Structure 1
Amino acid sequence: MATPDYFISCDWGTSNFRLRVVETATLIIVAEHKTDCGIKSLYEKFLKQRDKEQTQFFVDYLKTQILLLPKKYQNYIIIAAGMASSNIGLFELNYADFPLNTNGKNLIWKHLVFNNNSEVLLISGAKTNFGMMRGEEVQAVGLEQQLNPYKKGILLLPGTHSKHLTYDNGIYTHLKNYMTGELFEVLSKKSILANSVNLNYSTLIITSFLEGVQLGLKGQLSASLFSIRAKDLLQTSTKEENFYFLSGLLIGDEISYLKNNEENIFLVAPDPVFSLYKIALQQIITQDQLILFNDKTLENALLIGQKKILLQYEN
């Protein structure tokens, strides 16, 4: 099959939905549309109705959103990554097994054609015996050209559920999951600590953050959590200082196993998360070991990964 001039990149996460029309040769984005109707909220709407089965319900939403793109691009193939291939998404696909090749060959994908001749190439997640991911595997495939010059290292993709991938000469061999982002959400909004923390990323309070990082690095996460409430009640710390202390505590705990690591660490994330992880990592590894990539790199990685998988499919 001939490679199309354009493709529609669909990034369908738990909380957000985004379509981008991408010129295949250059990866230039020529049109974009996004909503806050992620997989979770759309699945909840599906459960409240009886008229349509799950795939049709999700397909109908996808088709209505495609119609909001410029008309001349609406019939190009859709490359869907993220939670769309989960059991609460458009169509469930099994996880591909590690090791994961950076050409995308051993990912699982499914070609779906709908009654208006719309085509979707749906991409699976990937798993090990101890971890799994959906969406980040496409980013990882797209990051190959950035990591290849360094040969080996550990790729950190922070988020609600952070992923650490071991990279070895074009292959991702291992995966670790950390619930850092979700733990922060639960502790800061739904636990007894909620009234002691003011969620505010506007001004970094470095001393409080580093205090938390050092305790997290020492394995003192659980033993230090209640001190946040005590600091608030005794007025020895502000709620903003507690915010950064909790952030540092959780991030320090996540990266503590890297203290004696001698390999390269690749950090790829958007701000403000990028800056926090950078500061925390600088406490335990040398400047030469820490390889930094910003949010633009991450954005491009998804498109590069989707293009690689499209070319595998077309061939």
Structure 2
Amino acid sequence: MVIISCDWGSSSFRLRAWDCLGGRVLSERRSALGSSALLPPGTPAAARAAFFAARFEEELSAFDPAGVWRDSPVVISGMATSAHGWRELPYATAPLALDGAGLVTRRERLPGGREVILVSGLSDGQDVMRGEECELLGLAQWPGWGEALPGGRGTVILPGTHCKHVQIEGGRVCRWRTCMTGELYGLLRQHSVLRHSLPSDGASPPPPAGAAAQPDREAVREGARRGREHGLSAALFQIRAQALLHGLAPATADAWLNGILIAAEFTAGQVAEGPLLLSASPRSAWLYETVLDALGLAERLTVVPADCADCLAAAGHAVLWRAGSTG
């Protein structure tokens, strides 16, 4: 069984053919076709739906020009169901079972007649998510899930533009906190005084393969320590002060910035008890592992393998389809 999985975010678009039996990606198409930049605010809902349907059909045709998967079901999650997306769907209400029962879905038709299924987001009454709910369904299928979260209880960390700390209780998604870590990083790098002290591309180099210790790791740890000791705002200005007074190198300043911002997610009594499960890209996983080690939380941490973390939305869409939640 093959499904077509679409993870449509505010600033990115990812389309995949997912082999449900083998649990692997057969083909993929990625682009910067974010939902938030396609139409101006205030576009009427009917016009928005028609535009998104036509644009998605174009992407689908480019992805599968020979029609190999023309009969495969199509499942779409993420910001496509937000107010600036294809069709705004109401949030489902937590707690959410990890088979997806309770998620809100809607069937839409493309101009050529093919049916697609839109998946809603989730709310716990205090916070919201769109897209991560499907990633969590996929993550629960990972063979290491039970060992990482004994008794179906713990915290799942999903880094990104808006990082989620998701509380799992009794094998259900119950509540979460959202931290604007990725967005703050971009804003500070591009629009704050710190931009004068950071690399022009704003990127921290990844650690060398097999490196036991190297300057970047220690700089991230130093940022985490300063964030914990001085608080977010004061620690951030230390980057500029150290650059002016002591010639703090741009790469080191960027590592400090990452450490300070990530540490802010886990300080001020914001760390839940129990095991921590991190699912992220290799670079983000390395940064979070480094910060959590500096904060003395590494013993509680399990990291999802990168190949699994990269496919969570598609695996979650398969869970929904198998369970009939899209019906």
Is TM > 0.5 for Structure 1 vs Structure 2?
Answer: yes
2:55 match: 61
Higher alpha-carbon deviation: 196-205 or 168-177: 196-205
TM-score, with length taken from structure 2: 0.87
2-side partners of 1:218 and 1:104: how far apart? 41
1:92 alignment counterpart? 88
Match of 1:226 in 2: 237
Q: Relative to structure 1, is the Cα distance of residues 159 and 260 closer, same or farther in structure 2, using a 3 angstrom cutoff?
A: closer
Name the SS of the counterpart of 2:193 in structure 1: coil
Match of 1:282 in 2: 293
User: Does structure 1 conserve the Cα–Cα contact (< 8 Å) formed by 2:41 and 2:84?
Assistant: no
Moved more, 305-314 or 252-261: 252-261
Q: CA deviation at 1:66?
A: 1.1
What corresponds to 2:211 in structure 1?
A: none
Contact 2:12 2:33 in 1 (8 A): yes
**Structure 1 residue matching 2:30: 3-state secondary structure:** strand
Could you tell me which residue of structure 2 aligns to residue 273 of structure 1?
Answer: 284
Q: CA deviation at 1:91?
A: 0.7
The answer on 1:129 being equivalent to 2:125 is yes
1:228 Cα offset (Å): 1.6
Q: How far apart, in 1, do the equivalents of 2:233 and 2:321 lie?
A: 45
Distance 2:272 2:31 in 1: 41
Worse-matched range after superposition: 118-127 or 147-156: 147-156
Contact 1:111 1:119 survives alignment (8 Å): yes
Shift in CA distance, 140/260, structure 1 to aligned 2, threshold 3 Å: closer
Residues 236-287 of structure 1 show CA distances to partners (whole Å, capped at 9, x for unaligned) of: 3111111111111111111125687541010110021110100111233455
Aligned with 1:272: secondary structure? helix
2:146 is aligned to 148
Residues 89-122 of structure 1: CA deviation (Å, up to 9, x unaligned): 1111011111121110011111123342211111
User: Which residue does 1:37 correspond to in 2?
Assistant: 33
What one-letter code is carried by the residue in structure 2 that aligns with 1:38?
Answer: G
Q: Over residues 44-100 of structure 1, what are the superposed CA-to-partner deviations in whole Å (9 max), with x where a residue is unaligned?
A: 4996xx9x8100000000011111113121342210011111111111101111112
Between 1 and 2, higher relative CO (CA 8 Å, sep ≥ 6) is seen in 2
Does structure 1 retain, via aligned residues, the 8 Å contact 2:57–2:110? no
> After alignment, is 97-106 or 200-209 more displaced?
200-209
Counterpart amino acid of residue 208 in structure 1: A
Amino acid of the residue matched to residue 251 of structure 1? I
Q: Which amino acid aligns with 2:260?
A: L
* AA aligned opposite 1:148: G
Distance in 2, Cα, partners of 1:254 & 1:219? 14
Give the alignment of 1:14-53 within 5 angstroms.
14-44=10-40, 53=47
Residues 272-315 of structure 1, C-alpha deviations (whole Å, 9 max, x = no match): 11101001112334554211113312223222210111122367
Mapping of residues 138-217 of structure 1, within 5 Å? 138-146=134-142, 147-149=145-147, 150-151=150-151, 152-198=153-199, 199-202=202-205, 205-217=216-228
Q: CA deviation at 1:223?
A: 1.4
d(CA) in 1 for partners of 2:265, 2:136: 20
Unaligned runs of 5+ in 1: none
Matches within 5 A, 1:94-109: 94-109=90-105
Deviation at 1:32, TM superposition (A): 2.0
1:201-260 deviation digits (Å, cap 9, x = unpaired):
225512321121012223511112222222222243111111111111111111125687
Question: Structure 2: which 5+ residue stretches go unaligned?
Answer: 208-215
Instruction: Give the residue type in structure 1 aligned to 2:127.
Output: G
Measure the CA separation in 1 of the matches of 2:41 and 2:178. 29
Distance change (3 Å), C-alpha of 1:53 and 1:34: same
- Aligned partner of residue 172 in structure 1, secondary structure: strand
Q: In 2, distance between residues paired with 1:274 and 1:203?
A: 11
More moved, 218-227 vs 243-252: 218-227
Distance 1:314 1:13 in 2: 20
State the Cα deviation string for residues 127-184 of structure 1 (Å, max 9, x = none). 1232111111101111113433322111000111000001123111111000011111
Is the alpha carbon distance of 1:259 and 1:110 closer, same or farther for their aligned partners in structure 2, counting shifts above 3 Å?
Answer: closer
Of residues 3, 6, 23, the one that matches 2:2 is 6
Q: Could you tell me whether the CA contact under 8 Å between 1:215 and 1:252 is conserved in 2?
A: no
Whole-angstrom CA distance in 2 between matches of 1:283 and 1:258: 16
